[in-house]
């Protein structure tokens, strides 16, 4: 408490601390030092924060006042559940939802049934106390989830199943808790059941249907204010938690569903995701772990044999029942022992929901103080065991995952992003970050090309500011960025030289400006910037026209021409499209012929990739505009084009940028030009019957147009 006495500011520093300034300062130093110190002893940082909470809390040295960090602690719990929903791979989740249901059933019924028998026949509790304590065994908290996230195993099926099972069992337990409290208050009637059912249905509809609509609208309207994006997401998380409590369940259910609702709107490589994870891991989650430690009172073990026996029985039963649930899940789906241990580690810790259940039962007189104190010991032991098991098994699983990843290419990928004006910079960098291999150590290269003329120096200074903004923007995602500036005779030559010098594998370009009639007629001689770049840069190229943020994409529509599978860059850009689909959380509609579909399916099967993909038969690129009925305004349309004279090229592709802009003016558009060489048709092993006369006919047509134009010019001169 601060007291202003004349000009002197006095602060109350007596223990326990009550002033927020020293409390906040102390907790921040704990968050800073505890992981550093315990890392030397190979102890998970989570344990250090829990032990620190025990030391400074009301049951330790009473350094800070009870309840002083409850707000941050509750926010941290909600943040853990929100991140669990946000980082969930929705394709894997949908694929494994039945497995999550099975694990949810195991981790709910095994502890519930075993707890019922132990509480009834060993501890001799009455029915209400037995039901309450048994349901407490069934719940668990993802205390160790930050460890799994830090180890990079959140995409593994074992983690996905564990997270899905968590929300199932916690929801069931909290519904049981609502029933118990209703029965204890004498309100367990028809009105109670109707109100609970309706409120849960309305709550689920608001979170899973309205939240995504509001989020998509907000991100489209507010494109550039990154601070507003972060505040908006936080507001939805805590609103969802509040709505959950109004519906009669705990706020953690609302936070998890908010993560699911916003999952597809927040790509994992975006600056927003980086800010969300950073804030949670640096502040909210450590506060929650410290608050858990402050609940623990080890002195209960000295209060007689009854308290010690109850604490031992509750703790042993909690760990054994959760291990059995993980073991039966392993047997059901053929998981490895390491995956079983990861599931057990994530589901073995009891904290927030557990203490909520027990405190409500204690306040209502259903259980006594010995059970409450035994539960506090249970929280400490299960959190410690869970952290150790997850840390150990997670490291082994991370090694296995790293060894399983297919080596797609020998040459490291390098992405070049030519930027002409700042307005398009962020959208092009977002696209590059989403298609970049997350394991690649090479940077992204934003490029500014300055024409070599009398004003070159002034232009270099101007582009320097744009490059600085590009580095700052991409740096917010913790991605490597190396800005490049070139002075050259023209833009296309500058891009071509930079691509060769930097050994670029992918080029991300902005959409070309409208061409004039002369450029369309003499394109093969004078050429636009895009045409010139295509003739001098043979690497994979993505020409992008973005009107709204990529994270609002509902569906990716990829259109591929005949013979696309024979191009040298086919597998490379297919990898990128699959990665983009994962990042934006959108399903993929692939329009192609039967041969191309077979090649894509063979690739999926070879590397066992889980992609939500639908095929549509499409063989003639001239029928592209007929796909309008399959494309909505929130879809990203991607068309695979080809350079002139290559196997999959068709004369219809020459006017593709203007044609797409005219017929799909509101859609995000990407033209893909696969990597080519002069001998692609030989290396690809194409049979003679696969070759067409289109390239030759196209060149003859261009020469014919050129001849007629020259004749008109000569006649005009005469």
Q: What is the share, in percent, of the chain residues with pLDDT greater than 70?
A: 85
Residue 524 lies in a domain: yes
Question: How many Å apart are CA 159 and CA 339, to the nearest integer?
Answer: 8
Question: How many Å apart are CA 574 and CA 602, to the nearest integer?
Answer: 12
The DSSP element (H or E) to which 418 belongs, if any, is: strand 415-418
Residue 703 lies in a domain: no
Quote the number of domains for the chain.
Answer: 3
Kindly state whether residues 84 and 120 are assigned to the same domain: yes
Query: Which of 352, 374, 403 finishes a domain?
Result: 403
Give the pLDDT mean for 518-531: 45
Kindly state whether residues 450 and 557 are assigned to the same domain: no
Q: pLDDT digits over 496-510, tens only? A: 899 989 999 999 998
Closest CA to 153 of 394, 421, 472, 493: 394
526 SS3 class: coil
Sheet holding 506-510, edge to edge: 484-488, 444-451, 415-418, 506-510, 540-545, 668-673, 635-640, 555-559, 587-592, 613-617
Q: What is the CATH number of the domain that holds 563?
A: 3.40.50
Tally DSSP H helices, then E strands, for the chain.
28, 12
pLDDT of residue 523: 35
Kindly state whether residues 529 and 559 are assigned to the same domain: no
> Is pLDDT above 70 for 352?
no
pLDDT of residue 678: 47
Q: pLDDT digits over 579-633, tens only? A: 898 888 888 999 999 889 998 988 888 777 777 889 999 888 888 888 888 888 8
Q: What is the CATH number of the domain that holds 425?
A: 3.40.50.620
Query: Which of 541, 566, 590 finishes a domain?
Result: 541
> Is pLDDT above 80 for 346?
yes
Q: What is the CATH number of the domain that holds 368?
A: 1.20.1530.20
Question: How many Å apart are CA 255 and CA 84, to the nearest integer?
Answer: 9
Kindly state whether residues 205 and 84 are assigned to the same domain: yes
Going by pLDDT thresholds of 50, 70 and 90, the confidence category of residue 200 is: confident
Going by pLDDT thresholds of 50, 70 and 90, the confidence category of residue 13 is: low
CA distances from 496 to 141, 307, 639 (A): 54, 76, 23
322's tokens: 């959760």
Kindly state whether residues 518 and 555 are assigned to the same domain: no
Answer for the pair 345, 390: CB distance below 8 angstroms, yes or no.
yes
Residue 682 lies in a domain: no
Domain coverage including residue 508? 413-541
Helix-helix angle 157-184:251-262, to 10 degrees: 140
420's tokens: 């002409």
Residue 7 lies in a domain: no
Q: What is the share, in percent, of the chain residues with pLDDT greater than 90?
A: 17
Whole-structure pTM value: 0.71
Kindly state whether residues 28 and 127 are assigned to the same domain: yes
Answer for the pair 644, 530: CB distance below 8 angstroms, yes or no.
no
Question: How many Å apart are CA 505 and CA 575, to the nearest integer?
Answer: 13
Most confident of 185-194, 412-421, 465-474: 412-421
Cβ within 8 Å of residue 188, ≥6 positions away: 179, 182
Question: How many Å apart are CA 491 and CA 450, to the nearest integer?
Answer: 7
Q: Lowest mean pLDDT: which of 358-362, 402-406, 516-520, 674-678?
A: 516-520
Answer for the pair 548, 632: CB distance below 8 angstroms, yes or no.
no
Closest CA to 131 of 165, 178, 187: 178
CA distances from 135 to 165, 348, 677 (A): 15, 14, 65
Going by pLDDT thresholds of 50, 70 and 90, the confidence category of residue 440 is: confident
Residue 640 lies in a domain: yes
Residue 302 lies in a domain: yes
Kindly state whether residues 598 and 524 are assigned to the same domain: no
Kindly state whether residues 134 and 276 are assigned to the same domain: yes
Cβ within 8 Å of residue 689, ≥6 positions away: none
Kindly state whether residues 367 and 423 are assigned to the same domain: no
pLDDT of residue 717: 46
Question: How many Å apart are CA 53 and CA 66, to the nearest integer?
Answer: 11
Neighbours of 628 (CB within 10 A): 11
The gap from C-alpha 264 to its chain's centroid, in whole angstroms, comes to 8
Question: How many Å apart are CA 262 and CA 141, to the nearest integer?
Answer: 21
Answer for the pair 154, 202: CB distance below 8 angstroms, yes or no.
no
Q: 638 - beta bridge partners?
A: 558, 670
- Using only the alpha carbons of the chain, give its radius of gyration: 31
Kindly state whether residues 30 and 116 are assigned to the same domain: yes
Going by pLDDT thresholds of 50, 70 and 90, the confidence category of residue 695 is: very low
The DSSP element (H or E) to which 718 belongs, if any, is: none
Kindly state whether residues 531 and 572 are assigned to the same domain: no
Answer for the pair 322, 111: CB distance below 8 angstroms, yes or no.
yes
Q: What is the mean pLDDT of the chain?
A: 80
> Is pLDDT above 90 for 235?
yes
pLDDT of residue 704: 55
Q: pLDDT digits over 137-157, tens only? A: 888 877 788 888 778 788 788
DSSP state of 481: B
Pairing of strands 415-418, 444-451: parallel
Question: How many Å apart are CA 257 and CA 309, to the nearest integer?
Answer: 38
343's tokens: 């599931």
Residue 233 lies in a domain: yes
Query: Which of 541, 556, 589 finishes a domain?
Result: 541
pLDDT of residue 207: 92
Can you tell me which residue has the tokens 């070139």?
486
Kindly state whether residues 339 and 452 are assigned to the same domain: no
Question: How many Å apart are CA 446 and CA 448, to the nearest integer?
Answer: 7
Helix-helix angle 70-86:271-279, to 10 degrees: 140
Q: pLDDT digits over 660-676, tens only? A: 888 888 899 999 999 88
Q: 450 - beta bridge partners?
A: 487
202's tokens: 């309305």
Answer for the pair 106, 321: CB distance below 8 angstroms, yes or no.
no
Going by pLDDT thresholds of 50, 70 and 90, the confidence category of residue 122 is: confident
Residue 295 lies in a domain: yes
């Amino acid at each position: 408490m601060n007291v202003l006495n004349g000009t002197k500011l006095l602060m109350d520093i007596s223990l326990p601390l009550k002033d927020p300034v020293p409390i906040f300062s102390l907790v921040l130093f704990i968050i800073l030092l505890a992981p550093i110190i315990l890392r030397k002893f190979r102890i998970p940082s989570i344990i250090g924060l829990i032990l620190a909470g025990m030391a400074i809390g009301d049951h330790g040295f009473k350094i800070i006042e009870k309840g002083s960090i409850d707000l941050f602690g509750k926010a941290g719990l909600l943040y853990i559940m929100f991140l669990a929903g946000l980082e969930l791979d929705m394709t894997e989740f949908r694929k494994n939802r039945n497995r999550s249901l099975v694990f949810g059933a195991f981790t709910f019924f095994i502890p519930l049934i075993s707890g019922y028998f132990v509480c009834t026949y060993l501890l001799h509790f009455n029915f209400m106390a037995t039901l309450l304590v048994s349901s407490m065994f069934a719940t668990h908290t993802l205390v160790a989830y930050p460890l799994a996230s830090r180890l990079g195993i959140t995409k593994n099926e074992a983690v996905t199943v564990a997270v899905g099972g968590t929300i199932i069992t916690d929801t069931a337990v909290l519904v049981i808790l609502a029933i118990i409290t209703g029965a204890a208050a004498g309100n367990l009637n028809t009105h109670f059941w109707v109100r609970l059912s309706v409120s849960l249905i309305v709550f689920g509809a608001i979170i899973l249907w309205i939240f995504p609509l509001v989020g998509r609208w907000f991100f489209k309207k507010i494109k550039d204010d990154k601070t507003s994006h972060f505040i908006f997401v936080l507001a939805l998380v805590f609103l969802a938690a509040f709505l959950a409590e109004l519906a009669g369940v705990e706020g953690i259910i609302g936070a998890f569903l908010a993560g699911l609702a916003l999952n597809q709107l927040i790509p994992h490589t975006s600056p927003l995701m980086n800010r969300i994870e950073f804030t949670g891991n640096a502040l909210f989650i450590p506060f929650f772990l410290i608050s858990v430690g402050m609940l623990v009172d080890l002195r209960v073990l000295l209060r007689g044999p009854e308290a010690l026996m109850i604490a031992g029985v509750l703790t042993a039963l909690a760990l054994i029942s959760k291990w059995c649930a993980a073991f039966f899940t392993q047997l059901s789906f053929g998981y490895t022992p390491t995956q079983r241990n990861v599931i057990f580690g994530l589901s073995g810790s009891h904290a927030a929901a557990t203490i909520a259940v027990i405190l409500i039962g204690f306040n209502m007189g259903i259980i006594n103080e010995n059970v409450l104190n035994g539960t506090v010991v249970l929280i400490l032991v299960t959190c410690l065991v869970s952290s150790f098991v997850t840390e150990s098994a997670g490291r082994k699983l991370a090694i296995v995952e790293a060894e399983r990843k297919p080596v797609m290419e020998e040459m490291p990928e390098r992405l070049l992003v030519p930027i002409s004006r700042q307005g398009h910079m962020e959208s092009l960098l977002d696209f590059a970050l989403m298609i970049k291999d997350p394991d690649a150590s090479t940077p992204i290269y934003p490029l500014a090309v300055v024409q070599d003329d009398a004003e070159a120096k002034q232009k270099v200074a101007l582009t320097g500011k744009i490059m600085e903004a590009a580095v700052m923007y991409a740096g917010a995602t913790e991605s490597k960025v190396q800005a490049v500036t070139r002075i050259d005779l023209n833009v296309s030559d500058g891009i071509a030289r930079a691509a060769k010098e930097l050994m670029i594998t992918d080029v991300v370009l902005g959409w070309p400006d409208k061409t004039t009639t002369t450029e369309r007629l003499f394109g093969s001689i004078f050429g636009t910037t895009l045409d010139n770049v295509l003739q001098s840069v043979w690497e994979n190229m993505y020409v992008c026209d973005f009107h709204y943020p990529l994270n609002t994409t509902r569906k990716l529509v990829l259109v591929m021409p005949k013979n696309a599978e024979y191009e040298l860059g086919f597998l490379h850009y297919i990898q990128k499209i699959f990665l983009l689909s994962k990042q934006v959380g959108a399903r993929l509609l692939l329009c192609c012929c039967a041969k191309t579909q077979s090649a894509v399916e063979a690739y999926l099967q070879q590397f066992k990739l889980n992609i939500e993909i639908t095929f549509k038969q499409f063989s003639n690129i001239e029928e592209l505009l007929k796909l309008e009925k399959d494309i909505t305004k929130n879809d990203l349309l991607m068309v695979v084009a080809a350079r002139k004279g290559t196997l999959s090229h068709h004369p219809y592709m020459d006017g593709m940028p203007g044609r797409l802009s005219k017929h799909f003016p509101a859609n995000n558009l990407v033209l893909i030009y696969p990597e080519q060489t002069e001998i692609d048709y030989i290396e690809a092993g194409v049979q003679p019957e696969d070759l067409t006369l289109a390239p030759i006919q196209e060149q003859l047509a261009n020469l014919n147009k050129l001849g007629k134009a020259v004749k008109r010019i000569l006649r005009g001169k005469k």
